[in-house]
Structure 1
Amino acid sequence: MTMQEQAWADALRRERAGDASRYAGFLKEYSAVLRRIVRGRLASAGLDAQEAEDIVQEVLLAIHQRRDQWDDSRPLLPWLGAISRYKTIDAMRRRASERRMRIGLSDREWANLFAAQGEPAVGSPARIEEMVSALPRVEQSVVRKLGMEGMSPREAAQATGMKEGTVRVAFHRGLARLLKLALGGGS
């Protein structure tokens, strides 16, 4: 057992005895190590390394929720590694799946999404409002901010408190649903 592992194991044991400050120190140290690992894995998988912080937080939450399941007579690193590995793999799979679902249209194609040869494809502004109102709350908000108010993804992220990547995904999903509605396919 390395000195680092011993210190972390001691921090978890002390947390069980009520010493939250040592546990907080462990989480901070482990998150720094985990962050480097996750960024590397994301980059090697062709995913955005900026999403590493979300994955790190998912892993830390899982460790925190399962901390009582660690058998303190056994080494800590294999236990941490298993949780970290599985949570990271799950998160990477979700992100890769989300990336495949994104719609790749140019800015011009997005702008012309509901117009065909100068004629509105979906009818009146009231019909557009009705369709946007049928979207899930987050997608509705993002579509309004980006598509109707003309905000950039960064501005919409700041206005909604979401991450910019989340805004982009919600926008793409919202537009995909709007397209289905416009073509009569429901939501």
Structure 2
Amino acid sequence: MVAAFAAASMTQDMGLLSLIPPASDAVPNPVADTDDPLALGQAAYTAWAVLGLLIPAYAALILQGAGPVWLAFWSAAWVGYAVHLYVSAFWFFGGDFDWMQNTSRVSAFWPGMALLIWWPVDIALGLAGQRAAWVTMQRVALHIGAFVLFFGGSAVMGELTIVKALGAALAATVLICAATWWRGRHG
């Protein structure tokens, strides 16, 4: 997170991120909705940091199971996600939840809020060493949901090529690790 905040500060005057939100069906010709490139950068870079932590979390879960490596990366990613949502909600959007729900800058407001609440429950189950079938099922569902949100927000809707590449790296990691796991079980 320190690196994300530093990067946002160092690049705020470079014009990397558009002050105009993406066009949508509701707003086909959007206008600038901010004059604060620092807050925009902090919101973006913290999300990208989470994406970077999710890649090893998914690899560890698929290849090693819900062990300590997965739990460490998964937990760190949630902390980053909480920071990202806080920065986005209160620094960029100024606490205006109506704006957050009605802008093309936020692709999945309510699923994102559900993820914020569900994720630490899964971390607690991991810390408690729970291995019941229902724990595994909820964990798989949660990881699929998180994957869809982060892949969609980066590879599909990402503004910069590097962000699209991070989303593609997440997808490639999941596919390669799943294929490796499958081959090891069905060799």
Report 1 or 2 for greater relative contact order, CA contacts < 8 Å, sequence distance ≥ 6.
Answer: 2
TM value normalised by structure 2: 0.26
Structure number with bigger Rg:
1
